[in-house]
Amino acid sequence: MKQIELFTDGSCKGNPGPGGWAALLRMGRHEKELSGSDPETTNNRMEMTAVIRGLSALIEPCQVDIYTDSKYVIDGITKWVHGWKKRGWINASKKPVKNAELWHDLIEAVARHQIEWHWVKGHSGHPENERVDALANQAADRALVGEG
């Protein structure tokens, strides 16, 4: 099974507002950058989209180390999702889970792979996190001016 590193980030100009996401896939010395935007979204949606799109770019099951600065994504997929499923996609506050369609997409995306989650402190000088942050911000800027 191939060993992949996936670095992800999301950005939003206003929350909600125009947003961008980015993913950096690395296998050995080979790298691939992905990014995209949405004209009206939230930061959490962009964080999730970055992981979903990064994993979806893999054409076969892999061992993936995912690095993100989003506790929302990590806690959601490793802790909260189990309770949401049991409660019929109702959160602990007895309200529908936000971004449920993306959580379903993320569940499907991670199911194919062996995943190890790593939290990275944002804006702390982590080279790959800074790189995907810049890419996500560039994508959000494109969405802001209508080029997304």
- Give catalytic status of residue 105 as yes or no: no
In this predicted structure, the answer to whether residue 34 has a pLDDT above a threshold of 80 is yes
- 71-105 pLDDT tens trace: 999 999 999 999 999 999 999 899 999 999 999 99
- In the block, residue with structure tokens 């800027």: 141
Tokens of 3: 């060993």
At 108, the pLDDT band (50, 70, 90 cuts) reads very high
Distance CA 113, CA 98 (A): 25
69 is catalytic: yes
Q: For residue 148, what pLDDT band results from cuts at 50, 70 and 90?
A: low
Assess whether 28 carries a catalytic annotation: no
pLDDT number for residue 146: 79
CB-count burial class (<10 Å; 0-12, 13-18, 19+) for 112:
middle
Active-site pick, 69, 76, 105, 113: 69
- The H-or-E segment that residue 3 falls in is strand 2-12
For 100-140, the DSSP string reads HHHHHHHHHHHHTSEEEEEE--TTS--HHHHHHHHHHHHHH
Average pLDDT value for the chain? 96
Count of other CB atoms within 10 angstroms of residue 34: 19
Whether 133 is catalytic: yes
pLDDT of residue 130: 97
- Please name the residues in contact with 141: beta carbons below 8 A apart, sequence gap of 6 or more: 13, 20
- Residue 120 pLDDT exceeds 80: yes
Q: Does domain 2-144 sit in CATH 2.40.128.120?
A: no
Domain boundaries, the chain: 2-144
Q: Considering the candidates 5, 38, 105, 133, report the single residue annotated as catalytic.
A: 133
76 is catalytic: no
CA gap 66, 57 in Å, rounded: 14
Q: Is 87 helix (H, G, I), strand (E, B) or coil?
A: coil
Q: What pTM was computed for the model? A: 0.96
